[in-house]
Amino acid sequence: MSSPGTTGLVKQNRFSKCLDQGLAVLRCFTPERPVLGIADIAAELDMGRSNVHRYAITLVALGYLEQGASRKYQLGGRGVDVGMAMLRATGLRAASREHLELLRASTGYSVGIGLLDRTEALYADRLASHRRGQALGGPRIGAGVRVPVYCTSIGKALLASASAEVRESVLREGHRRRRTSYTITKKAHLRVQLDAIAERGFAVVDQEFHLGLRSLAVPVRDATEVVAAVNLSVYQADVEVDELIESFYPLVGATAEKVSLALGYAAGESRVAADVATDLADRGEP
């Protein structure tokens, strides 16, 4: 039982039937039918019980399903986490799209917004640069793409804003590989950097995720806590780190503030200085 829209991938021999069937098992669980047995799933998917059982065991081992005393299954913590992350991402996209479009228009560079999802940052939305040559090379990132928290500005801004317990859990759980010669992987160094980010209110990453790519991110808050971060990415050949901070932090910070206000954050508590609004006005931005 394959998902819609897979014909092109099948023709390219790039479609994973096993993954599709595993996800089909997860899609059987709904608010109306939160607990299912092997026979229930097999009947709904028209799949052999032995195959369903194999997928169910794997999904339990990975945390996406849980098996109760009745030997039936329900969504596990990871399955719920994925669903909640996507729901939050949908709300963020609606609240931020207009502001992201203005930020891209005023800078010409790629911009995005994402939220923390365990050891990764999930992009709720991302708008590619309009500048000539800026869309070439580098990682292809769009809405729904996940990036590691330890070497991206959006991830570090989110992790620095999280509780000490969440920070330590992510640093313990996450696998950190050196993506470039600039990547910081040692826990002690990351802790120092995260403390500094939390103090100054924004994160800057210089070629840690991808050679030639620099980025800056600012947290977004709702009425009670940090829920996301807005970021902007540039190429190091075009923008030095000092310029990234001096010229673009005010714009990214103002965008994060606007999205925060849209999500219910109190204007009087804004960390973006008043002269940011003046700077935007001088550039002709609302």
**CATH 3.30.450.40 residue ranges in the chain?**
81-282
**CATH 1.10.10.10 residue ranges in the chain?**
12-75
Would you give the DSSP letter of residue 251? H
pLDDT of residue 130: 79
Which range is least confidently modeled, 65-74, 103-112, 242-251? Answer: 65-74
Determine the Cα–Cα distance for residues 197 and 205; give it in Å rounded to an integer: 11
pLDDT of 194 above 50: yes
135: helix, strand or coil? coil
pLDDT of residue 274: 45
Cα dihedral value 115, 116, 120, 123, nearest 10: 0
Q: Transcribe 86-132 into DSSP letters.
A: HHHHHHHHHHHHHHHHHHHHHH-SEEEEEEEETTEEEEEEEE---ST
The mean pLDDT of 73-83, rounded to a whole number, is: 73
Cα dihedral value 213, 218, 221, 226, nearest 10: 70
Task: Specify the higher pLDDT residue, 221 or 131.
Answer: 221
Which range is least confidently modeled, 2-6, 41-45, 113-117, 144-148? Answer: 2-6
Predicted TM-score of the model (pTM): 0.67
Q: Which CATH class is domain 12-75?
A: mainly alpha
Q: Which CATH class is domain 81-282?
A: alpha beta
The mean pLDDT of 84-96, rounded to a whole number, is: 73
pLDDT digits (tens, 9 = 90+) for 139-192: 678 787 889 999 999 999 999 999 999 999 999 886 788 999 999 999 999 999
pLDDT of residue 180: 94
Residues in the chain: 286
* Residue appearing with tokens 């977004």: 220
pLDDT of 42 above 50: yes
Q: Tell which residue, 213, 257, 212, has the closest CA to residue 232.
A: 213
pLDDT of residue 281: 47
pLDDT of 106 above 90: yes
User: What is the pLDDT of the chain when averaged over all its residues?
Assistant: 84
pLDDT digits (tens, 9 = 90+) for 2-27: 454 454 545 556 678 888 888 899 88
pLDDT of 71 above 70: yes
Determine the Cα–Cα distance for residues 247 and 279; give it in Å rounded to an integer: 10
